[in-house]
Chain A
Amino acid sequence: MKNVWKPGDARPSRTRAFGWLAQRFTGAGLVLFLAMHFWVQHMPTGFLATAEEYLDITSELAAAEPGFAEAIAEGKIKQALPGEHVITFRKVQQRLANPLWKFIDVMLLLFAVMHGMNGLNNVLEDYVHQPMHRVIVRVSCWTAALLLSAQGVVSILAVGNWF
């Protein structure tokens, strides 16, 4: 079981080596990007609204749009607890108005999808041995990666009125 090509293995070993290296590369990038993502979106920093700011934002929006007032009345939009920090559309919009943040978020997305789908493919190839089934698994992973990347990139670029 040295590094030899087997009939069940449709990919040449150089491609597999590239996949191995890419998993290390994207993994290292994700450690940095995800730490930043978590700091920005989950920790009580200025990137999130405080309870008072969230009250201001939601009441302002409710006054401007009837849809918001309805959602608040139905309890679909709830006020923040004392001391809670909430992600809100306006804060995300302000952050993503900066092209550098847009770039960082798009890179995070692409790295995460690449790493995730390559990892999923690696796990499945440990259990799927028939050449044809392996091709199906690989094509499915790539398709999912492309669709998720497209969906995510469009979502990120749309915030801050680029479209």
Chain B
Amino acid sequence: MQGNSKSSDSLKDSPSFWNFLATVFSYRLWPGMAAWLLHRLTGLFLVLYLALHIMGLRSLADPASFEIYVTTYRNPLFKVAEVLLLGTVAFHAFNGTRIMLQDLFFRSEMHKPLFYAVVGLTAAVTLAGGFPILAPYIAQLLP
């Protein structure tokens, strides 16, 4: 969580969007900070998605509108987004599990290896779950 003192000292104090960006980029992203920031960002994204998803459930009232809704979500771009969504959920779940285990059950000194394990598990789940989703679309692109 240490700031890069060289560049943050040179920042002016006035609140502006560019100072905000400069501050963000002046930080060096340590694993602990990356874990905190990513958990927060993935969480915010997932709340937004949850709201949209629940609104979408209204189409369950009528079979035709449900099939139309599902067809929209089968656009190749949405399929890529679906895999990214899986990655987002997987990261939030694994990192949340890490936080929970450390809060409730043990105090590990191995913070960094545990975070790298979270990243590894996220990548593994995203690849394993993403492949069957994208496989038919990739097969279509091949000659």
Contact = CB atoms under 8 A, between A and B. Distances in A.
Interface of A: 24, 27-28, 30-31, 34-35, 38, 42-44, 58, 61, 65, 67-68, 71, 76-78, 80-90, 92, 109, 112-113, 116-117, 119-120, 123, 144, 148, 151-152, 155-156, 158-159
Given A43-B129, A151-B57, A158-B61, A81 B137 contact: yes
Given A44-B132, A152-B57, 17 more contacts: A24-B103, A28-B97, A31-B93, A31-B96, A38-B86, A42-B82, A42-B86, A58-B67, A65-B64, A67-B64, A76-B68, A77-B68, A78-B71, A82-B139, A88-B66, A88-B67, A113-B54
Interface residue SS majority, chain A: helix
Interface residue SS majority, chain B: helix
A99 to B, nearest CB: 17
Interface stretch (B3-11, B19-27, B40-48): B40-48
B93 A123 contact: no
A24 B64 CA distance: 39
Given A27-B96, A30-B93, A81-B137, A144 B51 contact: yes
Contacts of B135: 83
Interface string B12-53: 000000000000000000000000000010011011001100
B89 interface: yes
Contacts of A89: 60, 63, 66-67
B84 interface: no
Interface in B53-83: 54-55, 57-58, 60-61, 63-64, 66-68, 70-71, 74, 82
B74 A152 contact: no
B140 interface: yes
Contact of A77 (B51, B67, B133): B67
A120 B47 contact: yes
Contacts of A67: 64
Contacts of B93: 30-31, 34-35
A137 to B, nearest CB: 13
Interface string B114-136: 00000000000000010011011
